[in-house]
Structure 1
Amino acid sequence: MMVMGIFLFVLLLALLILLFFKQLWSRRHLPPSSLALPLIGTLWADGFSLHKDYFQKHVKRYGNIYTMWAGSHLVVVLSGFKAVKEGMTGFSDAFSDRPDDPFLSPSGKGIILSNGLTWKQQRHFGITSLRKMGLGKKNFDHRIEDAAQTLVEIFRQTKGQPFDPSNSVLNVVSNIICHLSFGRQFDAEDDNFQKFIQSLEIVLHFSGNVFHVMFSEFPQLMKHIPGPHKEALACRDLIISFAKQEIEKHKEFHSLHEPQDFIDHYLLQMETSRNDPNSTYNEENLAQYIFDIFFAGTETTLAILMWALLLLTNHPTIQEKVKKEIEDVFGFSGSISYQDQKKLPYTNAVIHEMQRLKYALLVGVPRQSTRDVKMRGYHIPKGSIVIADLRSVLLDPEQWETPEEFNPNHFLDKDGKFLDREEFLPFGIGQRSCVGEQLGRIEIFVFLTSLLRAFSFRLPEGVKELNEEPIARMSMHPHPYKLCAIPTQV
């Protein structure tokens, strides 16, 4: 019996050694990686939980292009500005697809996770419809200025006492997307709106956690297993249902000749393209598109604004310098629009630096290779998931003088003029860069200048510093905090 046991042990060991060498041989042309085990891939070496340095720790060992295995999925990570730029611009067509995600986009529709003709048509529509709705023009900017003033009034009601700004910021930012998508805003006390916002928060928190990864790998199995994915799926369906209800209302009351919002413009596009056999404009794509707009547009803007308020509170000297520049240029009356950013070089530099230092995502949204690619001597097979590690770009020590420090001088020349830098890539790079980049830039600038004009942000009594460590998920939010909004003395 003992002899048989020893024999089986030796046989198993021999098979494992054989498997190891077979893996080394079959993957010899791929970028370097840890040993991949069946089912779990390289998760045993990479860690089963996310943290802010989850991807960056591999660079020292493997260099700026390396491989990870998520189960059976090959993931190639590009790290640092030079590698990301080379991959995303030099192979822009090859790295233009998105991998499937059965949770976020079960049908592969919408804009974020669609591919091929569907993605091309939806992206083209997104860009042209935003332009038609006046994005970047004064009338459109006034909507964001009004939303910023709403937030100012909410903060003013705290009367300088400590408060958590997150819910107020989320409500106001979400209402901007509501106005853009549905042509109307919701009262913060509206029960349906609050259910919508709560569902959105649950979906955002679920994204990127281990249950999300498991659901993406085994969607049919996970549907029959209890866990937090059940609640997240229900919330996802509620958001889609909410979007479909708004679509039905617009179909009943909208005017094709005078489209007012995103749904109106999309329904008009559906009507215009109804005889085109190649058209991908339909209500399923529209509902998923609205989900994508809320998922991406709300999450990133919320994260950026929450980091911005935290950093300004922790760095009162920088905050006062921004406030003085705004006061010197505009005084205390009149509006400040996005077009005014050239008049505020230091303020603009601070806003850019906050987005650089506290990037809103763990990495860029994954791509998928549409063909075999040879990059830096490595073979990247068709179907590989390709991740552009944008966080590593924004913290690249080869590009930034003090990458780990809050230093607005990164965006100022020797004369104090604003310096636009190629390495600043929070909205992505290449063909699949963020469609809503300009909207996001306008929101962040207008919100922060409006708030800083109205308040000085201070630490609550007894608090020495707000925690600057992020909560690591696919989106990187600060830990919950409270601050005091002290009205500016005019």
Structure 2
Amino acid sequence: MILLDWTNYLNLYTLMSLIGVLLLYWYRRPAKLPPGPRGIPIFGVLPFLGKYGERKIAQWSKTYGPVISLRFGRNDVIFLNDFDSIHEALVKQQTKFSGRPKFALPFITDIAKGSGYVGLDYGDFYKAQKKFGLTALRGFGVGNRSMEDRVQEEDTFLNEAIRSMDGKAFNISKYIHKAISNNICSVVFGERFDYDDEYMEDIMSRLLKLLDDPTNAAAMRICMFAPGLRNLPPIGFVHSRFKKKISVALEFIRKKIEEHNKTFNEDDLRDFVDAFLNESKKENNNGFTNHQLIFYIRALLVAGTETASSTLSWSLICLLHYPEITKKLREEILSVVGPNAQVGMSYKHRLPYTNAFIQEIMRFRTLFPLNLLHKTNEDAELYGYFIPKDTTIAPNLWAAHNDPNYWDEPEKFKPERFIDRKGEFIQSNHVIPFSIGPRACLGKQLALMEVYIFLVSMVQKFEFLPDPNDEELPKLDDGINGMAFIPYPFRVVAKPL
């Protein structure tokens, strides 16, 4: 009996010792790694983040400093929580911090199998694809007058669609999505699609499911930091459904490439697809394959649509919430552009308050709060901390845009913060919605042009009123928060001026 008691005691002692060792291992931080909370074993800090993890992380940074490390599963992720640390890593040490972790796009990784653009790790292949992308986009008008003409033409179609609602409440984001996607489709495929094209509407809906569907968005956000969960219930079910839905959209892209192949003429390159096919026919084509093109196009269509369309949707919600700001914005537009003139880039420098409004929207409603995850390509040092090679880096753009040390009352929407004493617009390098460094958004110039032309034109031509059947205004402080922060669907009444 005494022997049995001692055996039980020994087993208990061994178990407690093992637990102690595991806890010690869990809470032990690698030498010179940035400080930060460790969370709980197995899950780390994941259960504590909530819907708006970027805000919780920014709150922790007040205790631990702008550069902090958080544990997710077995991995430590480094978060950069102010402009200076983001600039130091992504610009000043760009060659060390420009990698991309394998599961930065967890639901896409399994399908893309190392192809595409956004999810590519930093290296020669990525550089070749980026160089091609920039050259091709510029060659087909992005950033110059010919693209402005296309956007202005699409603006006419958008205004006609809004006017056709004849004073009835409608989901304006749906039409904005179609207008923006038509701009990128004209560059990629050489064609636009009618607003009543239900097939194309379905294709774009499938492509954007990861961002604008609340369930998909939440699941993907979790899997960014805990990719293993993508194969386990309940996230595994979401993952499977997404793969089935996006397969239809990828097949659409494949058929478009096939059509281009049949009519390809190297002396008459019509669009991005033709330019890519031309590269693929060269001897040393550096991986310019059909599979690569399919996922490159997917990235262009998703990023090229969601960035500008969600910014415009947030803008319209702000117009509803702040009538005095709306009045000031419209007065400036009508006094400079007039009520009937076509909106063009030539007016832009004469619209300081409009520029301030757009810049404040991009700060106030940060579209990609945690950017896209980066990775260190080699051992690095940041603010005296040692960051090992292959460590995941998360630039907290929301924290940079809401830093009270830099912004006065950052929680408030104040376009006037970007107007100087002379009434001139202040361009701020601290507003970085497209990120910074070599992995900044490829379509930044197109998105800025679209937001400017479409917003100015809509304010010039319509007064937007809330849906009379809704008891409250569309939510401004809440939305779909996955990789991107997107407004919930809302309805407006557009009253022609």
TM-score bucket of the superposed structures, by smaller chain: over 0.9
Alignment of 1:458-473 (within 5 A): 458-461=465-468, 463=471, 465-471=473-479, 472-473=481-482
CA contact (8 A) 2:54 2:398 kept: no
Give yes or no for the alignment of 1:103 onto 2:107.
Answer: yes
CA contact (8 A) 2:45 2:71 kept: yes
Task: Provide, for residues 103-162 of structure 1, a one-character-per-residue CA deviation record: whole Å limited to 9, x for no partner.
Answer: 223312221011212210111111111111122322221111121222211211222332
Against the structure 1 CA distance between its residues 224 and 328, is the aligned structure 2 distance closer, same or farther, given a 3 Å change threshold? Answer: closer
Q: Tell me the equivalent position of 1:69.
A: 71
Q: Tell me the equivalent position of 1:114.
A: 120
Alignment of 1:28-177 (within 5 A): 28-35=31-38, 37-47=40-50, 49-51=51-53, 53-101=55-103, 102-105=106-109, 106-115=112-121, 116-177=123-184
1:217 to 221, 227, 232: 227
Cα distance between partner residues in 1 of 2:345 and 2:12:
70
Cα distance between partner residues in 2 of 1:172 and 1:73:
41
CA contact (8 A) 1:156 1:487 kept: yes
1:475 to 477, 484, 488: 484
CA contact (8 A) 1:360 1:477 kept: yes
CA contact (8 A) 2:170 2:492 kept: yes
Cα distance between partner residues in 1 of 2:223 and 2:414:
39
Against the structure 1 CA distance between its residues 226 and 53, is the aligned structure 2 distance closer, same or farther, given a 3 Å change threshold? Answer: closer
Amino acid at match of 2:478: P
Cα distance between partner residues in 2 of 1:383 and 1:226:
26
Amino acid at match of 1:94: K
Question: What is the CA-CA distance between 1:482 and the residue it aligns to?
Answer: 2.0
1:362 to 339, 357, 369: 369
CA contact (8 A) 1:203 1:236 kept: no
CA contact (8 A) 1:211 1:228 kept: no
What CA RMSD, in Å, does the superposition of the two structures yield over aligned residues?
2.4
1:254 to 248, 253, 264: 264
CA contact (8 A) 1:396 1:403 kept: yes
Cα distance between partner residues in 2 of 1:435 and 1:422:
18
Cα distance between partner residues in 1 of 2:220 and 2:439:
26
236-245 or 378-387, which deviates more: 236-245
CA contact (8 A) 2:184 2:305 kept: yes
Amino acid at match of 1:244: R
- Residue 34 of structure 1: SS of its match in structure 2? coil
Amino acid at match of 1:325: E
Question: What is the CA-CA distance between 1:46 and the residue it aligns to?
Answer: 3.5
- Residue 311 of structure 1: SS of its match in structure 2? helix
Q: Tell me the equivalent position of 1:240.
A: 250
Task: Provide, for residues 437-468 of structure 1, a one-character-per-residue CA deviation record: whole Å limited to 9, x for no partner.
Answer: 00100010011011011111123337454321
CA contact (8 A) 2:230 2:239 kept: no
- Residue 57 of structure 1: SS of its match in structure 2? helix
Cα distance between partner residues in 2 of 1:200 and 1:478:
17
Task: Provide, for residues 238-296 of structure 1, a one-character-per-residue CA deviation record: whole Å limited to 9, x for no partner.
Answer: 2222111111100111321121211011112223xx222x7222222111100111121
CA contact (8 A) 2:34 2:67 kept: yes
CA contact (8 A) 2:230 2:236 kept: no
Question: What is the CA-CA distance between 1:3 and the residue it aligns to?
Answer: 6.7
Query: Percent identity between the aligned chains?
Result: 27
CA contact (8 A) 1:110 1:119 kept: no
Amino acid at match of 1:429: I
255-264 or 306-315, which deviates more: 255-264
- Residue 70 of structure 2: SS of its match in structure 1? strand
Q: Tell me the equivalent position of 2:273.
A: 263
Against the structure 1 CA distance between its residues 4 and 298, is the aligned structure 2 distance closer, same or farther, given a 3 Å change threshold? Answer: farther
198-207 or 255-264, which deviates more: 198-207
CA contact (8 A) 2:55 2:398 kept: no
Against the structure 1 CA distance between its residues 224 and 365, is the aligned structure 2 distance closer, same or farther, given a 3 Å change threshold? Answer: closer
Alignment of 1:337-356 (within 5 A): 337-356=344-363
- Residue 80 of structure 2: SS of its match in structure 1? strand
Cα distance between partner residues in 2 of 1:425 and 1:224:
35
Cα distance between partner residues in 1 of 2:86 and 2:221:
26
Cα distance between partner residues in 2 of 1:21 and 1:219:
25
Alignment of 1:403-418 (within 5 A): 403-418=410-425
- Residue 94 of structure 2: SS of its match in structure 1? coil
1:229 to 239, 242, 245: 239
Question: What is the CA-CA distance between 1:76 and the residue it aligns to?
Answer: 0.5
Amino acid at match of 1:107: K
Tell me the TM-score normalised to structure 1 length: 0.92
Cα distance between partner residues in 1 of 2:324 and 2:227:
48
Q: Tell me the equivalent position of 2:23.
A: 20
Unaligned runs of 5+ in 2: none
Question: What is the CA-CA distance between 1:203 and the residue it aligns to?
Answer: 2.9
Against the structure 1 CA distance between its residues 362 and 208, is the aligned structure 2 distance closer, same or farther, given a 3 Å change threshold? Answer: farther
Q: Tell me the equivalent position of 2:299.
A: 292
CA contact (8 A) 1:121 1:280 kept: no
Question: What is the CA-CA distance between 1:24 and the residue it aligns to?
Answer: 4.4
- Residue 280 of structure 1: SS of its match in structure 2? coil
Alignment of 1:428-439 (within 5 A): 428-439=435-446
Alignment of 1:414-453 (within 5 A): 414-453=421-460
Question: What is the CA-CA distance between 1:41 and the residue it aligns to?
Answer: 3.0
Cα distance between partner residues in 2 of 1:9 and 1:117:
55
Cα distance between partner residues in 1 of 2:91 and 2:235:
42
